[in-house]
């Protein structure tokens, strides 16, 4: 009976619930709650949301930082390649032109083209006339007057030359007529030149102007020995250009003339200039680079107040009438990179040599590197440039190279491969600031080198 009652009660409860579910009188759904009134909180005070919750406080966002580095505009640099004396052959006297009017620069053109500025010293006129007054009607083998046919100017252009010095002791070999012809030939192919009094060469590179002023120890050119006038001309170039290069033709000549003495150099009774004073004065007055030539041999290189001075780049391409034995046949292509302010940034030497009658070629033996390294240390122990075995130039003084110092102590007149500085002595190594006498090497005969002092003044230059 108790079981029946418990079961009967469950059935009754289920019946009631089912009736309610099926009844037409269902309980109505409650209406949705009324929205909360709009927030009337004062400015800056957050309001609650619909559930009465305050929003999380705002966290200030850090500004987005770009991880891409800012691209800085490239600063302009000027890359210059320079060589010494260039004379492509002469038709005076007859028989000193390359066979078939060949271009003797073909083997080195690649070295000259790869630069913003490619500079040469044009040793003699480009001319198809004129008269060699200094040699007289019957020229002898001891009278050196050069005259290169005018059309040869195209060989210079093809080699990449775009700047030339005409300030030297051979530019006037055939008088004013040929000097003006030379300038016209250079103008015709776009080679900027300087040499005649007051002349300045200009080029445009990287949106900046490049100036070059060429000097020689003669009043018929921009005069090296008239320092006030030289400084005034440099100041003019400095105002008109961003980078300024100075070229000079001076110093004694011959195989023995590898050293840069203190004071003035005399040669064949001519004042060939105080080259240390001139070059350093040019730098201090605003020149960015100083390039020397004239002795027909390489001379040392120094870094003076951030600017490079090369005292002689020697013979580069001198066909037909030049003696080219020993150091006279050693040349170089000097590369110098200047920064935006004109300071020396980096550089390199590409060694060359001349074969045969004067055909320039790259020198795999690198004789110029050994010569320049030694001579720079001998003459400029505190300011000399360093020259690496691969030709790279270093700003550190070369006396910091212990191997060079050791070699100089054991072989005070040069490396075993050859006597590069025959006039030197151990004492002069220990006292490098003393003037070095210019004495001819042993075994040299009178007149054996072009323009040597053994000619007793009879050689006409």
Count Cβ neighbours within 10 Å for each residue of 253-281 and write b for 16 or more, e otherwise. Answer: bbbbbbbbbeeebebbeeebbbbbebbbb
Contact 378, 262 (CB under 8 A): no
Determine the Cα–Cα distance for residues 199 and 197; give it in Å rounded to an integer. 6
Question: Taking each helix axis from N to C terminus, what angle separates 402-410 and 367-379, rounded to the nearest 10 degrees?
Answer: 90
End-to-end CA distance of the chain: 154
Half-sphere exposure of 459 (CA within 13 A, CB side): 19
In CATH, what class is 78-455? alpha beta
β-strands 163-165, 117-122 pairing: parallel
Contact 304, 342 (CB under 8 A): no
The answer to whether the pTM exceeds 0.85 is no
Determine the Cα–Cα distance for residues 329 and 331; give it in Å rounded to an integer. 6
DSSP-derived 3-state class of residue 391: coil
Query: What's the pLDDT at 60?
Result: 64
Determine the Cα–Cα distance for residues 298 and 236; give it in Å rounded to an integer. 30
Q: What is the DSSP letter of 107?
A: G
Q: Which residues of the chain have pLDDT under 70?
A: 1-73, 137-139, 397-461
Query: What's the pLDDT at 284?
Result: 98
Determine the Cα–Cα distance for residues 428 and 436; give it in Å rounded to an integer. 7
Query: What's the pLDDT at 440?
Result: 43
Cα angle 15, 19, 22; round to 5: 140
Query: What's the pLDDT at 133?
Result: 75
Query: What's the pLDDT at 131?
Result: 86
Phi and psi for 169 in degrees, rounded to 5?
Answer: -80, 5
Query: What's the pLDDT at 423?
Result: 35
pLDDT digits (tens, 9 = 90+) for 227-239: 999 999 999 999 9
pLDDT digits (tens, 9 = 90+) for 390-438: 999 998 755 444 454 445 444 444 444 333 333 333 223 333 333 333 4
Q: Domain-by-domain residue ranges, the chain?
A: 78-455
Q: What is the DSSP letter of 138?
A: S
Query: What's the pLDDT at 75?
Result: 83
């Amino acid at each position: 009976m108790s079981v029946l009652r418990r079961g009967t009660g469950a059935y009754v409860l289920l019946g009631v619930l089912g009736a309610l579910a099926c009844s037409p009188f269902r309980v109505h759904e409650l209406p949705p709650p009324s929205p909360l009134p709009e927030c009337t909180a004062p400015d800056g005070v957050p309001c609650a949301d619909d559930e009465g919750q305050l929003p999380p406080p705002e966290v200030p966002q850090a500004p987005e930082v770009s991880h891409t580095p800012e691209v800085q505009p490239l600063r302009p640099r000027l890359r210059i390649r320079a060589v010494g004396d260039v004379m492509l052959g002469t038709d005076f006297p007859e028989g000193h032109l390359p066979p078939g009017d060949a271009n003797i620069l073909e083997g080195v053109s690649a070295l000259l083209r790869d630069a913003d500025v490619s500079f040469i010293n044009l040793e003699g006129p480009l001319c198809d006339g004129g008269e060699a007054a200094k040699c007289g009607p019957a020229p002898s083998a001891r009278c050196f007057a050069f005259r290169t046919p005018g059309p040869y100017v195209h060989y210079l252009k093809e080699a990449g030359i775009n700047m030339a010095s005409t300030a030297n002791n051979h530019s006037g070999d055939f008088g004013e007529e040929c000097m003006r012809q030379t300038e016209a030939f250079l103008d015709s192919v776009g080679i900027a030149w300087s040499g005649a009094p007051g002349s300045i060469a200009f080029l445009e590179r990287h949106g900046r102007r490049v100036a070059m002023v060429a000097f020689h120890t003669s009043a018929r050119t921009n005069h090296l020995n008239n320092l006030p006038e030289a400084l005034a001309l440099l100041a003019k170039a400095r105002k008109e250009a961003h980078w300024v290069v100075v070229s000079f033709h001076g110093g004694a000549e011959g195989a023995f003339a590898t050293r840069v003495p203190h004071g003035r150099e005399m040669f064949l009774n001519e004042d060939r200039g105080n080259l240390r004073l001139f070059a350093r004065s040019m730098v201090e007055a605003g020149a960015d680079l100083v390039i020397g030539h004239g002795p027909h041999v390489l001379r040392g290189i120094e870094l003076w107040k951030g600017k490079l001075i090369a005292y002689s780049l020697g013979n580069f391409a001198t066909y037909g009438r030049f003696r080219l034995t020993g150091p006279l046949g050693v040349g170089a292509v000097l590369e110098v990179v200047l920064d935006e302010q004109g300071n020396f940034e980096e550089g390199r030497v590409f060694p060359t040599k001349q074969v045969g009658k004067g055909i320039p070629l790259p020198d795999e033996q690198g004789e110029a590197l050994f010569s320049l390294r030694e001579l720079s240390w001998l003459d400029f122990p505190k300011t000399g440039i360093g020259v690496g075995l691969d030709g790279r130039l270093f700003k550190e003084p070369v006396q910091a190279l212990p191997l060079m110092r050791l070699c100089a102590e054991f072989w005070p007149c040069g490396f075993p491969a050859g006597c590069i500085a025959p006039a030197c002595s151990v004492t002069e190594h220990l006292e490098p600031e003393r003037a070095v006498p210019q004495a001819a090497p042993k075994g040299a005969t009178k007149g054996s080198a072009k323009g040597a002092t053994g000619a007793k003044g009879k050689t006409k230059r």
